[in-house]
Structures are given as C-alpha cells and as structure tokens.
Structure 1
Amino acid sequence: MPHLWIRAAIAFWLALLPLLSSCAPATNSSAADSTYQLTAASADGIGKVYLGREIAQVMGHQGAAWLERSSRKFEESPDLAVDLLDLKPTDIVADIGAGTGYISFRIAPEVPEGKVLAVDLQPEMLDMLATRQSEQGVANVEPIQGAVDDPHLPPASLDLAIMVDAYHEFAYPQEMMHGIVKALKPGGRVVLAEYRAENPFILIKRLHKMSQKQVKKEMAAVGLVWQKTDDSLPQQHLMFFQKPV
C-alpha cells in the first residue's frame, strides 16, 4: 500500500511547516516599507523616496576636487556660514558628510576649547581629510568613519551638528537623523545648508537642492524643532533646528 506512505509523508511535512516558519529570522521589511518607497530612479537619484523626496546620488571621492574648488567661496560664502553658526569656544561640533574637511577646518578655529567631529562614509575622503589635517597642524578635528545608517557619534555629546550640501544624499536619512538627534545634548542644534529648490535659476541638479518646506518636514519627523532660516548665503538656505530640552 505505497499510497498510504505517501499520504503519511505529506501529513508529516504539513504538520512540520508551522514549526519551520516560526524558526525563520524576523525581518523589519514592513517597517522599512512604511518609511521608504521605491520608484524608477531619476538621472541624479537612487530611486528611493523619503517623505515625498527622491534621495540624490552620492558624490564619490572621485569628485573631491569639486569640494575644494576656488569658486566655492563665492558661490557658498563658507566663512559667512560659519559666522552665522554663533559658535562658542567650547562647542563640540559634528560635521556630517565632511568630505575633505572644507567646513571642518573653518569651524575648528572657532572652537579652540572644543572640537570638530568630521564624519564621512567614504574612507578615501577621510584619508584626504587626515592629510590636510597633518599639513595644517590642526589638533581639534577628529575624523570619524560613519555608516550609511549611523553617524557613529557618542550619545549626548554634541552642541551642534552641521550638514553642508550633504543631507539630501543620505541613503537612510531617518536612521541617520535619529543617530544625530541621539548624539545631541538637550537643546543641541542641527544646521543644514542646502541649495534652494525654490529657485530654478540656481544651476544645481534638481535632487541636490532642497526646499524649506521639505527640510522642515523631514526634521520634524525626527523630533527637531525649527528655529529659523537664514538666507544670507548667495544660493543656500541655512536652516536651524533644535533638539527639545
């Protein structure tokens, strides 16, 4: 009666299936799906959408020379941007997406009793930053290797986190911002410099610009409170947010 053995085997595996599925590793795909959506990638995007915004492609270390271009001081007024931060000498500042250290080394003299944590994802960028640091003899800049979803910063350690032309490229913006907020002291500040999406005459790729409305929406999603927007810079919003006390 071979058919009885077949029926018994089928019954055995049907009984075992619930046990096998209960041993399968849990996933958080539903949580990820609710945060990000996938779409056809734009020319300068990655096809991943966060709160209605497609995330921009990352500028690789091969474009590092563009970060140090001589025209940048006229296009972005970086020294004015640093002045507008209203830093204290003892401040601990994180420069997220620091690249070659263009902003980090401008902030460092303003915090002689504090330091700048220069965070970047790409080790090649951090190597360039370390070379510049050695050449300039700057002691209060600390390079930090970040991850795509974690800035790797100590909790409750920062007075300010700044992102200059960087946030729009974060592949995991919500996770990164949660990490940054966790690293802020109560009352600590976040400042974003982003090219103004509201102005079509600013000749920057569409996804590498952000509007005030979009930035406010994304910062509110991680519990930050908008303080002000300073539009003194030639082409960028300088937007200030605060972690509640």
Structure 2
Amino acid sequence: MTAYALQRRTLAGAALLLLVAAVVFVADQMVRTLGTLTAVERERDTWQRPEEIIGSLDLRPGQTVVDLGSGAGYFALKMAPLVAPTGRVLAVDLRRQSLAFLWIRARQGGLANLAVIHGEPDNPRLPPGPVDAALIANTYHELTAPDRILKVLFTSMRPGARLVVVDRGPRASTESRSEATAHHELTATAARDEITRHGFLTEFTDERFIDRAADEDIWWLMVFRKP
C-alpha cells in the first residue's frame, strides 16, 4: 500500500469516527431533551388545567382538531387519543425543532393520527378538509398577523365548530397590541374583539381561569363557535 493510499484510509477512518461520535452526541442530547420535556410537562399539569381546556373543545372520535402553536406537543399529544382512530390532530408551529420533537414523541406513543405542520406567520398551511375544533393555547398573543390566521381558521372550520383560546394577560394594562405582544401577554378583551370581528360567536369567557398569586399575569380562557 502506498503512503498516499494509507493516508486516505486513515482520513476515512477518522471521518467515520467523527461521524459516529456526532450521531452519539445528537442522540444523547435528544434523549436528554425528551426527558426534560416530560418533566416540564408534569409540572405544568399541576397548574395549567389541561383537562378543562381540552374538555372545552368537546372532542369526539373521528374529528379533526387543530393545535395552533403546538410547540413540542403538550396539548396535541393529549388530544390525539380522544379523536382516534379515524380523527386527526393537526399540530401547527413555526419552530421546526419543536415540531421535530413532537413528531418523535408521537411516534414513540404510537399516535399515527397526529400530523405536524410547519406553518407561516400569516398562514397555518392547513390541509384541505373541514376542521371540527381548534385550540390556540399560550400562542394568541404571539400572532403577528392575527387577522389572516383567523380568516384561514374561520374558512376551514365547519359550522358549529369550536375555537378555544387560552392565554395570559396583565392584571391591569393599557398597552397596545404590539406592546402586549412584545411582553408576551394580551388582555382577554383585546383578543375577543379581534376574534369576534371575524365572525366567531363567544360561547364562554373566564377572565380569571388561572390566577396564581405569585404570577404577574392572569390566564384567561374563551370558547368561540363558528355559526
């Protein structure tokens, strides 16, 4: 074997070792992140009241439900079994990494009826077909194009479909929409005005849905219906 061939083989071996090391590192980080997500969500279960939020959607097997701003799947993973086996959960988010972890978690849990969708700030990119319910949890205040998002949702949802929005707002505020978004909060009144302007009817409002004394914000919950 020539010195050149030996050098190439040595470099190839080193490259393979680096690749294996990188794969092991990524896999280890993924396992750690999944473990962290589980721990964080268990703590969140103690105060977020997920059963009541999901219950407000009145889900049934066979329905299609949208989780707009799904993140890594806190609500989507809970809703998928409720609409199975023929129903679907369409989990929409702007963050590819969150969707990647959600996809992995859904496959680990055998939830084949959960689809992840990489949306755009002004378009959730929903597939064709009627939507029976939609959830926007801890996300509405982040919307930079709420009118466009609401228009798409209203068009996609069947008559009678429910839209549940839960988010946090300041205890007292005179902020504008842009200022509130920057502070990751929005009043229930501001959100309700925007949503009803697009044709949704208000079914229920709880402006103190979650009120923890230690928090600066109060979480509100509202249920809307498409007529």
Q: Same fold (TM over 0.5)?
A: yes
Task: Give the TM-score, by structure 2 length.
Answer: 0.70
Question: What SS does the aligned partner of 2:141 have?
Answer: helix
CA contact (8 A) 2:135 2:165 kept: yes
Give the distance between the partners of 2:172 and 2:83, measured in 1 at CA: 34
Report deviation, 1:170: 1.2
Aligned-partner residue type, residue 239 of structure 1: M
Alignment RMSD, CA only?
2.7
Give the distance between the partners of 1:215 and 1:137, measured in 2 at CA: 36
Gap runs ≥5 in structure 2: 1-32, 174-180, 212-218
What residue number does 2:20 align with? Answer: none
CA contact (8 A) 2:199 2:226 kept: yes
Give the distance between the partners of 2:83 and 2:206, measured in 1 at CA: 22
Aligned-partner residue type, residue 172 of structure 1: A
Gap runs ≥5 in structure 1: 1-62
Task: Tell me whether 1:118 sits opposite 2:91 in the alignment.
Answer: yes
What residue number does 2:224 align with? Answer: 241
Residues 52-67 of structure 1 mapped to structure 2, 5 A cutoff = none
Give the distance between the partners of 2:94 and 2:224, measured in 1 at CA: 23
Report deviation, 1:66: 7.4
CA contact (8 A) 1:155 1:182 kept: no
What residue number does 1:86 align with? Answer: 58
What residue number does 1:186 align with? Answer: 159
With over 3 angstroms needed to count, the CA separation of the structure-2 counterparts of 1:154 and 1:182, relative to structure 1, is: farther
CA contact (8 A) 1:95 1:116 kept: yes
What residue number does 2:45 align with? Answer: 73
Report deviation, 1:67: 9.2
CA contact (8 A) 1:156 1:182 kept: no
Residues 130-169 of structure 1 mapped to structure 2, 5 A cutoff = 130-155=103-128, 157-169=130-142
What residue number does 1:106 align with? Answer: 78
What residue number does 1:34 align with? Answer: none
Aligned-partner residue type, residue 107 of structure 1: M
In proportion to residue count, which structure has more helix?
A: 2
Aligned-partner residue type, residue 74 of structure 2: Y
What residue number does 1:95 align with? Answer: 67
Equivalences, count: 179
Aligned-partner residue type, residue 138 of structure 2: D
Percent of matched pairs sharing the same residue: 31
What residue number does 2:17 align with? Answer: none
